[in-house]
Amino acid sequence: MVMEQRPFGRTGHMSSAVIFGAAALSRVDQAVADGALDLLLDHGVNHIDVAASYGDAELRIGPWMDRHRADFFLASKTKERGYAAAREEIHRSLERLRTDRLDLLQLHSLTHPDEWDQALSAGGALDAAIEAKEAGLVRFIGVTGHGWTVAAMHRRSLERFPFDSILLPWNWHFAQRPAYAEEFKATVALAEAQGVAVQTIKALARGPWAAGAQRTHATWYQPLEDEDAIRMAVHWVLAQPGIFLNSVGDVTLLPKVLEAAASPAVPVPDAVMAALGERTGMTSIFGI
């Protein structure tokens, strides 16, 4: 079954409901990366989200762009805050990805107020992104972030500049935090009104790794692992119209995410998700 596609905001692109989160390629060899990227084609995933800071991920994707550039909406990110460093990083990403343009360039993890001021002020990273867009090196510009304050910060960003996309955490546990859920919904409403694409991350986050626990996956948090739990977590997110789910940062879990998204998302009752949260010990990955 071909994966559902959704309008990626006002960009005109129909992106797969699941976007490949290429952090999963940070520390794998080319053979493993090739297998993961083959899997994307098999499941109809047509959107890749990578970042300059994701280890070797851009280098692993590069050989694929030589042959499959037309098959993917390609997004990367810069975590630099100043113009010169961001400009350099954008050009480095283009070289590593073996492409002459990015479909989306995102200001990465922009939640700290001081960094936000620097990046979005004159001489900041946003100037480098705008310059790259004017030069035809970047088609669209977005912003990403983590943590409890990200939704409010994204609204602030959308009020400062017409970003084309936002990215922020969202899963069942986050929705049980009233303050965050309220901020998330307000931000999504603003994004929808402006035609801004909404990408979500951490659908499979179970909680932080316990002290001394064996880390069986590449994710910095402990993920859900069994197929039923992953299916429920994926469907819970994708049953919400218009938003995207960026896949997990571990290649061994990627097939389960793609299989879960292969069938139309069915809303999962709150009681079922509550039981899942109880069974797996789902908790916050960002502290109290």
Domains assigned to the chain: 5-280 (3.20.20.100)
Give the burial class of 95: count Cβ atoms within 10 A of its Cβ; 0-12 exposed, 13-18 middle, 19 or more buried: exposed
Q: Is the pLDDT of residue 212 over 80?
A: no
pLDDT mean over 222-249: 95
Q: Is the pLDDT of residue 209 over 90?
A: no
The β-bridge relationship of strands 205-208 and 221-223 is: antiparallel
d(CA 285, CA 150): 14
Q: Is the pLDDT of residue 76 over 80?
A: yes
The β-bridge relationship of strands 14-16 and 221-223 is: unpaired
**CA 43 → CA 2, 39, 130, distances in Å?**
6, 6, 33
* Threshold 0.85, pTM exceeds: yes
> Residues 107-150: pLDDT tens digits?
999 999 999 999 999 999 999 999 999 999 999 999 999 999 99
Give the burial class of 33: count Cβ atoms within 10 A of its Cβ; 0-12 exposed, 13-18 middle, 19 or more buried: buried
> Residues 151-179: pLDDT tens digits?
999 999 999 999 999 999 999 999 999 99
Give the model's pLDDT for residue 68.
95
pLDDT mean over 8-31: 97
Q: Is the pLDDT of residue 201 over 80?
A: yes
* Measured CA angle at 138 (ends 134, 140), to 5 deg: 95
Residue whose tokens read 């709150």: 270
Q: Is the pLDDT of residue 1 over 80?
A: no
d(CA 192, CA 169): 17
pLDDT mean over 23-52: 96
Q: Is the pLDDT of residue 20 over 80?
A: yes
Contacts of 159 (CB under 8 A, 6+ apart): none
pLDDT mean over 82-99: 98
Using CA atoms in the order 269, 272, 273, 276, what is the torsion angle rounded to 10 degrees? Answer: -170
d(CA 209, CA 189): 33
Give the model's pLDDT for residue 235.
97
